[in-house]
Structure 1
Amino acid sequence: MRSRFRQLKRIYREHFQQKFKFHSQLTTQFSKLQSCNSVTSHKTLIPIINLQARNSEFLFLGRIETAQLVHSLANSDEKSEFQRYPGDEIAINVQNILKTCSVSTKGEIEKALNQCELTLTDDLIVNVINRYRFDWEAAYTFFKWVSREGDYSPGSNVFNAILDVLGRARRFVELIQVFDEMPDLVNEKTYGILLNRYAAAHMVEEAIGVFDRRKEFGELDDLSAFQNLLLWLCRYKHVEVAETFFESEKNEFGYDIKTMNIILNGWCVLGNVYEAKRFWKDIIKSKCEPDSVTYATFVNALTKKGKLGTALRLFQAMWEKGRKPDVVTCNCIIDALCFKKRIPEALEVLREMKNRGCLPNVTTYNSLIKHLCKIKRMETVYEYLNEMEQKNGSCLPNEITFNYLLKSLKKPEEVPWVLERMERNGCKMSTDTYNVILKLYVNWDCEDKVRHTWEEMEKKGMGPDQRSYTVMIHGLYDKGRLEDALSYFHEMRLKGMVPEPRTGILVNDMNIKLKERGEQGKKVIKLTSLGLKGNA
């Protein structure tokens, strides 16, 4: 049994090394991964902990208690300590088995899982599924195995987790099969997941069908369910459908400012100021009193379309008419002024906010930091960062703040400092942050750090997602590594991810170049052979 489990790990390691094609050998982290059956006297999986190795290089599978977590850093001195828990350890062991999905049969995977003798709980299963939210096949393989275990029945959290993964990958045949297995477990969260994933896949009729069946999802508030449907339709640019449906249902739901704000925001996000103005007038005619969200939404639409003058006049009129702009509206104005490089005016709005009792928040400072980073005013950036940390509360720097700082870096040695400060402020790593770091290391030709970043994303269940593959494909293309770029593209497609249009264009270009390169190689070989014959 142990030899079979080691074989699965060896297959994955060889596949991993081949994919990255790094010159340096991987560490012995996989050999340090304990066999699931290493403690045969216990029914549950108890990871073996090497406490003396606590300060050594971070192991791929992690450790209980205090462990060394490398935030996408290759060097052993670039570390920070985080808390690890037994549940995470078990989930990581399962994760390492599932990583062989692309190179092993389902029967082999299930055999290895059976040998683990896991004590199944909803928390453990959701933990594993969430680690594979960007790899539906691995998540679904695990879920199907779990579903066949006789002593365990998955709860609603487990079903919702796998529905979200399948919906994200647009595997709706499997999604419907899973949904049909949970008639007594559907709830409000299930409803939201189905709306989100159908709308994201532009399956509008199916999304509306879910709304029509809302009574099956428990005691849902009808108005809230209606607003959720409109929200997801607008989120994925089906604003016209959302407004038409709103009009068809207004006799049942009436006019509500929150509902109308959703439609207004949909037109604004699309950048259709004409339709936004028309719907604004509809709001006024409906006798619904516009609230601060309505004004903020419309101001944001004007600024995004470059109509900053009109937005500023509306903003000033709000003050004059006693409609005190909230922090969201003020942030829209500050961001627009910064975008136009009118930073002194943006700072004046910030001062006016404070004087009028409208306190700034982290978004306010992020707008300033984003644009100051672009014009390389780093001294001012760090002054604002210090101010945010001192104010604490709603001004405390967040993931977005540090992503802007990371994007402004010029060399790899600066990354640890930003990550250390990020940790000090209680910010957790996200998929977006990993992707920012991944792009930096690809651009800097830091292959070892790219590997560590990718490795850690997988281990933490933070990816790789579509953006991660896009970064690698485009980065490797720019470096002239066409075969490697295409390898990532094929892996991305195997996971069911839909590439961006620009990536599709790039892939076509790579195929043409490789074909030309192959034909040129044949010509060289032919000419060389002719030359050898001539010399003979």
Structure 2
Amino acid sequence: MRPLSFLRLLSVRRLSSTVVFPPTSVDPDLLLRLATVLYQHQQAPDATLHARLRTIPLPSSPPHLHELFLQVCNRFSSSWRPVHRFHLFLLRSFPSFADTPISASKVLWVYGLARNLDLLWRSFLDASASGLLSPGALCVAAAALADAREIKKCVEIFHHLSVDHESLCNVDTLNRVVQTICEKKRLPDVAKAVVWKVKPIVAPDEATYRFLVVGFCRAGDLVEASKVWNRMIDTGVEPDTESYEEFVVTMFKNNRFEDAMRLFKSMREQRYHDLGLESYRIVITWMCKEGRVMYASMLLGEMLKRGVEIDSPTLGALVYGLLARRKVKEGYKIFNNVATPDISLYHGLIKGLLRLRRAEEATQVFRVMIERGCEPIMHTYIMLLQGHLGKRGRKGRDPMINFDSIFVGGLVKAGKTLQATKYVERIMWSGVEVPRFDYNKFLHYFSNEEGVSMFEEVGKRLKDVGLFDLGDIFLNYGERMATRDRRRKAMSPCKIDI
């Protein structure tokens, strides 16, 4: 359809910003048939497509028609043409169909994923003229434009709001847009440019600066985060606790421990009453990783003095720090003083024992954890396997327990033949460093129904050659984790044929 006819249809669209339809069900067979026609005839002329669509018994009630259109948008989330042409067909052929803020936001979402920015911008202007704009639709449009680095268009959104929608042109809308760009798209530089350019229209507040600081910190850009931080202070806005915490974490990750501790001390001076469990846990965890257990213990005492409740992850980090410093008795003392330890405490104890090369004792803790009803996760098994086998896996002569062959078999079974070939070539060619054995991929490839029998067989073979701890780990994983497909099928709603 030509752009002129498209604009003509948009000009006669009904105003329906107040319409809210209740959720309704859609016939799956009808949706499948409709999606097939839209896909097969997306390049066909309008007359052919509309003739085929009229042969489909589409519902006539507005709620069902609206829900059907939303389901079509979900089905073609990254293909704009079927959604666009079906949308125009409904507007022309069904007087009962009317756009709502939800459908307008959904259309913008599809156009954004398909990177059709021209159609997205025209739809945005049309939704604005029809009174269908919502904060969610603004976030969808801004995220798509930011992903394409269309900073000028993002700024135009707020200029447009300041003229036609003053109720939406406020700092709350700006914060939602900035949060979407920083957290979902991870483009803090785009968000920063938008904030600086719309500052004459909407002044940023504490939350705006927080989203920018957190976004730059999570992107690892301490320089830009520092610039935003300094500008925030120059404007008289005091950084909140979350900004301090994210900055401290990023400094720890960049091995700037002294700077991180100076910033934490400044945080204690500026926001002493806002200092909570999360702030203490961050510093205690990183201090224990660095072996500075004495300072971590001092912070723990300060928490108790202030009445801040200590959680299991904090105690787990302290247990690991004590064991890493070879203070095993003190670590066990803290662990045993907890009435019902959770998986964080068990992980701290297991990780500390594995660092001391006490894999047998760590496996015994693993068995006790299961007996007490604490369910292990994937990270538990990966830690234990690395502790027993090393980071590069077992390279034994026995082909039954050689994890290279098991891993290659898992790659082939998962359809990753190219990766399997590259792995084998690196092993065969002498002088080429073999990559580290990826236990995460190994467990992931076999976490299905076929993996149940494989883990049972591997566990038995390991026990036959005297590796009882490893055998127990694999047998337990086969029983608990490899049946996730079966558990998902049991939890999903089943279709009953009558």
TM-score (structure 2 length as normaliser): 0.51
Map Cα deviations across residues 275-297 of structure 1 (whole Å, 9 max, x no partner). Answer: 33344333334332222122123
Instruction: Indicate whether 1:195 and 2:142 are aligned.
Output: yes
Counterpart for residue 295 of structure 1: 244
Return the structure number with greater relative CO, CA threshold 8 A, min gap 6.
1
Q: Which residue of 1 aligns with 2:215?
A: 266
Partner of 2:90: 146
> Counterpart of 2:173?
225
Inter-partner Cα distance in structure 2 for 1:261 and 1:323: 19
1:160-184 deviations in Å (ceiling 9; x for gaps) = 1121011022112332343354321
1:305 aligned residue: 254
Q: Distance in 1 between matches of 2:33 and 2:347?
A: 38
Please say if residues 188 and 220 of structure 1, whose CA atoms lie closer than 8 Å, have aligned partners that are also in contact.
yes
- Alignment partner, residue 320 of structure 2: none
Given that residues 303 and 332 in structure 1 are in contact (C-alpha distance below 8 angstroms), is that contact kept between their aligned partners in structure 2?
A: no
User: Which one of 282, 288, 297 corresponds to residue 231 of structure 2?
Assistant: 282
Counterparts in 2 of 1:279 and 1:101: CA distance versus 1, 3 Å: same
For the 8 Å contact 1:273–1:305, the answer to whether it is kept is: no
Separation in 2 of the partners of 1:333 and 1:315? 8
Match of 2:279 among 324, 329, 335: 329
In the alignment, structure 1 segments of 5+ residues that lack a partner are: 1-85, 390-400, 411-439, 448-471, 482-536
Is the alpha carbon distance of 1:381 and 1:240 closer, same or farther for their aligned partners in structure 2, counting shifts above 3 Å?
farther
Q: Does 1:179 align with 2:124?
A: yes
Q: CA deviation at 1:315?
A: 3.4
Describe how 1:154-165 pairs up with structure 2 within 5 A.
154-165=99-110
> Is the CA contact (8 Å cut-off) linking 2:80 and 2:111 kept in structure 1?
yes
Relative to structure 1, is the Cα distance of residues 210 and 366 closer, same or farther in structure 2, using a 3 angstrom cutoff?
Answer: farther
The equivalent residue for 2:71 is: 127
CA contact (8 A) 1:257 1:288 kept: yes
Is the contact made by 1:267 and 1:273 (CA closer than 8 Å) also made in structure 2? yes
**Partner SS, residue 255 of structure 2:** coil
Q: CA RMSD in A?
A: 5.1
Partner in structure 2 of residue 90 of structure 1: 27
Alpha-carbon distance in 1 for matches of 2:65, 2:38 = 22
Q: CA separation in 2, counterparts of 1:359 and 1:308? A: 23
**Structure 2 residue identity aligned to 1:275:** E
Structure 1 CA distance for aligned equivalents of residues 295 and 90 of structure 2:
55
In structure 1, give the amino acid aligned to 2:223. Answer: Y
Shift of 1:387: 9.2
Worse-superposed segment, 197-206 or 366-375: 366-375
Which residue among 469, 477, 480 is the counterpart of 2:418? Answer: 477
In structure 2, the residue matched to 1:170 is 115
1:204 aligned partner: 151
Amino acid at match of 2:153: E
Contact 2:171 2:204 survives alignment (8 Å): no
Deviation at 1:204, TM superposition (A): 1.0
The answer as to whether partners of 2:188 and 2:212 remain within 8 angstroms in 1 is yes
What is the alpha-carbon distance in structure 2 between the residues aligned to residue 228 and residue 407 of structure 1? 38
In 1, Cα distance between the equivalents of 2:273 and 2:165? 40
Q: Deviations over 1:214-240 (max 9, x none)?
A: 243562152223334444554556545
* Structure 2 unaligned blocks of 5 or more: 1-22, 317-341, 386-406, 423-498
Residues 350, 360 of structure 1: 8 Å contact kept? no
Cα pair 1:187 1:218 within 8 Å, conserved: no
Shift of 1:244: 5.4
CA distance in 2, matches of 1:99, 1:265: 44
